[in-house]
Structure 1
């Protein structure tokens, strides 16, 4: 008999098959419509097939949702049974005879292992040296994670490629959150999505042909009609990973392992993910944004000022009624402070809410990595991110300023297992063990082409 997880997996496989079938029909339908002499019978046949596949896809999605709700209900009952003990009282019991529900201390907790040293040591000892005590502590830790995170947690922790790993305790992620988030300012303002528990792609719906409305030419005449059509934008799931080498002597002796092992890995993970969103080839923000050139041998803030308005104007023009009023500007810290260093005797023609008439923006005085740093003259909030490249342009000394809609900056991360860790003894001859941290993510800014960037010689290394 199939388990609930197997039924869910089968249903997801069927949904993926319907997605592939739907996309094939969309391609065939577009080709049939674009023919010099379209075969209306063929077009009608393909439209009917596409509608049938879409209905099947919707039915499968509903069935999947029902199965997942049932699995979650089962998990809640299981957790409740594990957390409580029922005692049938036939007499008034003494204090020490009464069964009570208590909060048991976590295996790894902030009070005992604030910097994650014990956790890192146990990971290395269990994986590399088969240490029984370390393995037992890690086993209890994973059981505690299952109770807290839900029924599908173990499937997520195993990962798409069955690369079994251990989830980093949440208190460690929280402990280093100010430092870690300082490495991913842009990622933190993107629109978040949950990664599916299986597969190496995610999909977003995208309307390719909209409906039409026009004035009726005459009474009883046919009104305007255009068949709406859509497609699925497929985005690849990527693996973000890094490692740190620790000497075997330190692990076996139990001393000398730096308290910063977990800290370093968490911060490196965050920086890497954020940098990919900005700079990755083909899909990174710098490569999908439309350029607004600012060419100037002696750049000044007043000369840059019109470009700061051209960016959000172009975003709104591209998104039309899909613009949600959530445009953000992303710039390097050196550009943000350079703008603040500039002085001017001329003022904007229009005043801005929250800014004095003499000002072209406002600095909120927030520290790096703590959200919006201020606003630009258009009211657009500013994110300062030092993962922006500063070696661009012919002189390899330029940075860029980006404008993007938060609603169209899609980022998928796994909510149940955001960061996994394991140990590998690949450097046995050097008496060293590699601690590997990894996680899965996907992103896109291209569902609706809209992002803008200011670049050019006017954004060379600033002089203060």
Structure 2
């Protein structure tokens, strides 16, 4: 633990002891005032015992404060000594040697960030400062947050302006290194979103517009020399998609924040994961615009399904995508639940694809990339499509509410708009002060479109995709 963290913990301990002492004194005063207002010259037995108990608490906390003050003084002296050693180690003394010309000019260096991997590896100090600033109006915590936001205005000013223009409340930008650090955990819960065609979210507005060609130009054979050639004016319509907000909150007890270990980084990491899950689940399952809603369905009905029977359905869906898009995009990915992927791997038999594909061994129904969940393509099917496992795919479909769909999609036509480098924001409020609760809120904006072309997305559903038997 670094000296700054030790000092922070001692200061929190001092603050709690001070509050306990002051509360005991205030309660004694309230008891005496109540007796005076009622015209009583003495206290009741219960009141007298409570006053004695409160004075014991007051004396105990006063003694604690003496010890805490000495401990805090020693910690601050240790920090001062540490700074002196650091300063002395950086001192330079003239030796009389002639300096080169480049040593005689001033240079502008870069000062380290307020929060960085070196001093706040998992974001605990950042979240602690957010909570302390709102709980206690802690001056040092507030100064660090102000300095952090000033750094953000220099390096990522456009994101702050974007947040202020669209949100109804202000927020604090999560340091970028934390977003990068939690990215693997986030990616594990958004496999489909991660393979989408990504775009930067526009800086303003709550919708994004895509051009959809409704009337194409034309080319035809010329009837004869000097006769008119084919002409059709192109026409398009705007496909408008809404910018949506994914947000989550977590109420932490003051006891957890002030006395717990690692609470801040756990809360921050979990909020990142929930945010990612919500975004990905929206892309797949949202009514009207989600993948399950826009995909053209191929039905696979079978009481005893097998991979050799399922495979032609996959190719049929791929053929449907290609017929709808032609050269605009190709069917590139198959999205499925993990139980379907493992069921496919479990199947063996004498029937194999007739046409061998590049990179697939003969008599193989596909290849497993042997990677963990959420790290990209899990494997490749015989026709070359990449298999993506995503457990946001519902397993409660069909009349029996036990089916999971398989989706065949063209990556180039799965559009997802997010803020560059996925900045999210966090704030804290004492919304549950009466319960000693501290509220942390995380949110972000995104938009997506999977419906630029009719029949551009395909799905396979039916009883053949009910709960698999292994």
TM-score (norm 2): 0.75
- Structure 1 residues 416 and 329: CA distance shift in structure 2, 3 A: closer
Once residues 370 and 421 of structure 2 are traced to their aligned partners in structure 1, the CA distance between those partners, rounded to angstroms, is 34
Q: Is 1:120–1:261's contact at 8 Å kept on the other side of the alignment?
A: no
Per the TM alignment, residue 387 of structure 1 is displaced from its structure 2 partner at its CA by 1.0
Once residues 108 and 395 of structure 1 are traced to their aligned partners in structure 2, the CA distance between those partners, rounded to angstroms, is 52
Please identify, of 336-345 and 243-252, the stretch whose mean Cα deviation from structure 2 is larger: 243-252
Per the TM alignment, residue 115 of structure 1 is displaced from its structure 2 partner at its CA by 2.1
Structure 2 residue 280 is the aligned partner of structure 1 residue 280: no
Q: Which residue of 2 aligns with 1:8?
A: none
Per the TM alignment, residue 282 of structure 1 is displaced from its structure 2 partner at its CA by 1.1
Structure 2 residue 342 is the aligned partner of structure 1 residue 337: yes
Q: Aligned ranges for residues 138-177 of structure 1 at < 5 Å?
A: 138-149=145-156, 151-177=157-183
Give the one of 235, 239, 263 matched to 1:257. Answer: 263
Once residues 238 and 279 of structure 2 are traced to their aligned partners in structure 1, the CA distance between those partners, rounded to angstroms, is 25
Gaps of 5+ in 1: 1-90
Q: Which residue of 2 aligns with 1:292?
A: 298
Task: Point out the structure with max Rg over C-alpha.
Answer: 2
C-alpha offsets along residues 309-356 of structure 1, whole Å, 9 cap, x if unaligned?
Answer: 112111101102212x35211111111111010001122211111111
Once residues 407 and 371 of structure 1 are traced to their aligned partners in structure 2, the CA distance between those partners, rounded to angstroms, is 16
Structure 2 residue 409 is the aligned partner of structure 1 residue 404: yes
Per the TM alignment, residue 112 of structure 1 is displaced from its structure 2 partner at its CA by 2.3
Per the TM alignment, residue 179 of structure 1 is displaced from its structure 2 partner at its CA by 1.3
Q: Which residue of 1 aligns with 2:114?
A: 107
Once residues 458 and 254 of structure 1 are traced to their aligned partners in structure 2, the CA distance between those partners, rounded to angstroms, is 50
Structure 2 residue 254 is the aligned partner of structure 1 residue 248: yes
How many pairs does the alignment contain?
A: 372
Give the one of 186, 210, 221 matched to 2:227. Answer: 221
- Structure 1 residues 417 and 134: CA distance shift in structure 2, 3 A: farther
Once residues 417 and 374 of structure 1 are traced to their aligned partners in structure 2, the CA distance between those partners, rounded to angstroms, is 27
Once residues 415 and 229 of structure 1 are traced to their aligned partners in structure 2, the CA distance between those partners, rounded to angstroms, is 32
Q: Which residue of 2 aligns with 1:347?
A: 352
Give the one of 256, 268, 273 matched to 1:267. Answer: 273
Give the one of 176, 201, 206 matched to 2:207. Answer: 201
Per the TM alignment, residue 437 of structure 1 is displaced from its structure 2 partner at its CA by 0.2
- Structure 1 residues 92 and 433: CA distance shift in structure 2, 3 A: same
Structure 2 residue 362 is the aligned partner of structure 1 residue 357: yes
Structure 2 residue 125 is the aligned partner of structure 1 residue 118: yes
Q: Which residue of 2 aligns with 1:81?
A: none
- Structure 1 residues 347 and 220: CA distance shift in structure 2, 3 A: same
Once residues 294 and 172 of structure 2 are traced to their aligned partners in structure 1, the CA distance between those partners, rounded to angstroms, is 35
Once residues 94 and 405 of structure 1 are traced to their aligned partners in structure 2, the CA distance between those partners, rounded to angstroms, is 60
Q: Is 2:190–2:279's contact at 8 Å kept on the other side of the alignment?
A: yes
Per the TM alignment, residue 261 of structure 1 is displaced from its structure 2 partner at its CA by 1.0
